[in-house]
Structure formats: structure tokens, C-alpha cells
Amino acid sequence: MTRYIEEHREVHQLFASHLYTCDLDDPFNELKDHKEDPGHVYPGEYWGAQQNSKAKIDNYNPDYRVLEKFPEIKEKILTICSDYLKGYFGYTKNDFLISTSWITITPPSVISTEHNHRGAFFSGVLYFDEYDEKSGRLVFVDPLTLLKPYNLESIYEMDRDKCWSYVITPAHGRLCLFPSYLRHKVEKNTSDVTRYSLAFNILPKGRWNVSDSDSMIDSEWFAE
């Protein structure tokens, strides 16, 4: 019979994808007042349902630099994100910037299908509005799912280190930050009101992937 030396038994949790959340005490009235302005981003599923409304699609001009209108909120978000990236990951030799930002709209009965944010380093979402249990949760998907040959049920499927997906419930003031490769989606908004949130991407300052012309990024492209 095989015996174990108990103190020598250990499970090594390798290559985790880190999701950071915090709740901010701020009414975010400036963003709420901006909800009815043009330039917000709808899920592709919404436009699929608007095929017979060509005027709406022709007038669609999304604003992907929306935080430039709200410098104090931008600075608050960037400070939190930078502190996290430097403090938790140890990226102390790097500075960071918000490259793009936009307000997403999820009307009632609409979802946002699974996607990630290619070309960014970290991405985030700020829930600046009011929400309830029907507003549509944010769902993250295990990036290794496609590499796993067997989809077995587990009694531990809700454990963070064993789950196939992980859910964040929107709440006013909640900020989420995650690596941009992490695929995610929004469940159907089953409420009677439109769901608003602020999404953004983070880049390290400097020039990256210089040897690859297809993916080279220079943070000066996003300079104010």
C-alpha cells in the first residue's frame, strides 16, 4: 500500500487568469448624464435585429475615447489599475495608459456574445449605473476550455480554480479588471430597462512587438 508524506503533498495551481474587482463609492453622475448621448456601442446581436432599420445603422458612429470627456474619472480608473498591475504583478518598471474606452448598451432581451479584446494588455468594465438581478451578468470563460478533451461534470465546478466559467454580478460602482485575452460575454438582459456600462482597454506605455509589423503597438498613438 502506497503511503504519502502528508507535508509533501501539494497541488500546484499553474498559469492562473487573474480577475480583479473593487467597489467604488462614487455616484458617477457625469457618466449617468452621458447615457443618452450618441456614440455608445451596441452588441452585434442588437444590429442583427435592426436589419430593417438602415437609418439607425447608417447613423451609428461609436465613440471609443469616451473617457477623454471625463478626465477625473479616467484618472481614478487608471490609478486603481496601475496600482494593481504594479503592486500585484510587480510591473514596477512600466507605466500604463487607457487606450480606448466606450459605453456599452445592452437593451432588454439582448445579450453580448463571447469575445475578448485583441490588441490590448488588460481590459476592464465599470458599472456606473443602477442594476438588478435581471440586468445580465458578466460571464468569464476558461481560456483553456478548447484544449480540454473531456467536459466532465464536477461537484467543484463553482470553485474559482476549477470552474469552466465565472460570473460577476453588476452593481453600482463595481470595477472589474482582467487580462484582455480572457473571453467573456453578457447574459441576456431580462429586465425592462437598458443596461449601461463603461468598458476600457489598458496598454503599457512604450513600443511593443517592434519586430512584428502586423502587431506592433506604440502607446504614443493614444497620446492626448
Query: Tell me: the pLDDT tens digits for 17-65?
Result: 999 999 999 999 999 999 988 888 887 655 454 444 444 555 567 899 9
Averaged over 180-202, what is the pLDDT?
96
Is 80 a residue whose pLDDT tops 90? yes
In whole angstroms, give the CA distance from residue 138 to residue 102: 17
Please check whether residue 159 lies inside any domain of the structure.
Answer: yes
Closest of 29, 38, 90, 92 to residue 60, by C-alpha:
38
- What's the structural domain count of the chain? 1
State residue 186's pLDDT score: 95
Query: Tell me: the pLDDT tens digits for 184-193?
Result: 999 999 999 9
Please check whether residue 111 lies inside any domain of the structure.
Answer: yes
In whole angstroms, give the CA distance from residue 140 to residue 150: 20
Is 111 a residue whose pLDDT tops 70? yes
**Cell numbers at 143, concatenated:** 481560456
Location of C-alpha cell 487608471: 78
State residue 209's pLDDT score: 82
Enter the pTM of the model: 0.88
In whole angstroms, give the CA distance from residue 132 to residue 119: 32
Please check whether residue 165 lies inside any domain of the structure.
Answer: yes
Q: How confident is the model at residue 7 (pLDDT cuts 50, 70, 90)?
A: low
Location of C-alpha cell 452593481: 171
Q: How confident is the model at residue 4 (pLDDT cuts 50, 70, 90)?
A: low
Stretch among 3-12, 59-68, 133-142, 212-221 having the lowest mean pLDDT:
3-12
Q: How confident is the model at residue 6 (pLDDT cuts 50, 70, 90)?
A: low
CATH number, domain containing residue 178: 2.60.120.620
% of the chain at pLDDT higher than 90? 60
Please check whether residue 3 lies inside any domain of the structure.
Answer: no
Please check whether residue 95 lies inside any domain of the structure.
Answer: yes
State residue 141's pLDDT score: 93
Query: Tell me: the pLDDT tens digits for 137-166?
Result: 999 999 888 787 887 777 776 677 778 889
DSSP 58: H
Please check whether residue 94 lies inside any domain of the structure.
Answer: yes
**Cell numbers at 69, concatenated:** 470627456
State residue 191's pLDDT score: 96
Please check whether residue 197 lies inside any domain of the structure.
Answer: yes
In whole angstroms, give the CA distance from residue 186 to residue 78: 24
User: Which residues, in sequence order, are CB contacts of 153 under 8 Å at separation 6+?
Assistant: none
Location of C-alpha cell 479584446: 117
Please check whether residue 217 lies inside any domain of the structure.
Answer: no
The parent domain of residue 88 ranges over 17-208
